Amino acid sequence: MTVSLPAMLHDVVRKYDLRVPRYTSYPTAPHFGTGVDAAAYGAWLAELDRSEELSLYLHVPFCDRLCWFCGCHTKIVQRYDPVAKYLDALDREITLVADTLGEPMPVRHVHWGGGSPSLMRDADWLRLMGHLGERFDFCADAEIAVELDPRDVRPETAQTLGRAGINRASLGVQDFDARVQRAINRVQSFEETERVIGWLQGAGIAAFNIDLMFGLPHQTARGIARTAEMAADLGPGRVALFGYAHVPWMKANQRLIDEAALPSADERWDQIEAATAALEGRGYVAIGLDHFAKSTDPLAVAAKSGRLHRNFQGYTTDTAATLLGFGASAIGSLPQGYAQNAAPIRDYMRAVSSGRFAVTRGIALSEDDRLRREIIERLMCDMEVDVGAACRRHGVDADALAGAFAAIASLVDDGIAERKHMRVRVTEGGRPFVRLVAAAFDAYLNPGETRHAKAI
């Protein structure tokens, strides 16, 4: 993959220094409303086909250290008591959902996210995973993944995760450069990360990903390339390369970052090019917008065959039509629409402790939403889409998308996209701009919104 565009490259980069959604869903979460509540969620669960496979997401919104770059729903704790009480509520929510379903439904994907699920104690891992196994029918080849902060993992933690059934780990790294680490308050050595990977492998958890980030304070193209090479040398099947979204008006912890040390749009582009070249030089192939994988990895195989998908955890091989979210702020995706639990931990715990679902917002999907969601997902996953074919599948006249095609015109002129009749394709050099192409089909997006991440 080359990410070079035609002449005047940096003029193009500056022109599209805009903010657009990451499109892990459509419609995106800022457009959820209070029309979907606990009662609606219960009705949606009751309507599910019990023979269909599910995916489960469980959110643990706690960390024991504050990373200044973080944009997640999380709370810093120094004692385990708040975590233990929250996990009791999470356990009760599992019961509420399972009782509503009435019978164990098949599950092929489970994802523990946060926050830092790695700070959970061993007994809680075994208790909660045991409860899930009792109330749901895990497929024999189910992927059970967890996001880990290597700084929280001990040898016994790895062994417990293996006994609990975890078979994939996602390790947060961001950057191995000491100056960058100090600037984001996340000091984590290469040796520490390498040691944790060895513990996980010793516990039978062979599949792991590494998460990196560009656009951080004091990062350089040369530095992020070196970090990418070091990460690749650890042997992950997948590497994610996320762009840092600086939104201090939304995340107070980001105000601790020195804005003067943040790279410009041009420098962010140079970092993408450098990290991409480094990863490809180590044998990784580009997947979608911001992932890389070994060619034999299931994610790369799915991408090559057009079976790649995208959900709130990013790119996935998961094909389930229903993803159930557990925990404060967790979002579920059901055939009827999206449902999100209360974000404040206290509100979430109060609801489930009283025997109620904690859903407070969401959105029911219209046929137009479903059409645009398919188009956006295929663009984000395949870098191309046959809009005409999608319209026919949804029984919608393609003329309804005339505005989207008009919005794409400038992207075509600048070499980011190509259009042939009703087919739209993101050029290889335009891959980092794919969210801009997807945004052309977003009926909810208000230009100039500051809540989203920068396009580059």
Instruction: List pLDDT tens digits, range 35-93.
Output: 999 999 999 999 999 999 999 999 999 999 999 998 888 899 999 999 999 999 999 99
For the chain, which residues score pLDDT lower than 70?
A: 1-10, 13-14, 17-18, 447-456
Contact between residue 168 and residue 205 where contact means Cβ atoms under 8 Å apart: yes
Contact between residue 16 and residue 433 where contact means Cβ atoms under 8 Å apart: yes
Instruction: List pLDDT tens digits, range 284-325.
Output: 999 999 999 999 999 999 999 999 999 998 999 999 999 999
Rounded CA separation 361/356 (Å): 14
Range list for CATH 3.80.30.20 in the chain: 29-326
Q: What CA–CA distances, in Å, run from 314 to 310, 379, 441?
A: 5, 14, 19
Across the beta sheet with 384-386, the strand order is 384-386, 423-426, 417-420
pLDDT at site 207? 97
Has this prediction a pTM greater than 0.75?
yes
Could you tell me which CATH number the domain at 29-326 has? 3.80.30.20
Range list for CATH 1.10.10.920 in the chain: 1-27+366-456
pLDDT at site 447? 62
pLDDT at site 325? 98
Mean pLDDT of the chain: 93
Could you tell me which CATH number the domain at 1-27+366-456 has? 1.10.10.920
pLDDT at site 3? 44
What stretch of H or E contains 173? strand 168-174
What stretch of H or E contains 377? helix 367-382
pLDDT at site 2? 43
Query: Residue 191 burial (CB < 10 Å; 0-12/13-18/19+)?
Result: exposed
Contact between residue 25 and residue 311 where contact means Cβ atoms under 8 Å apart: yes
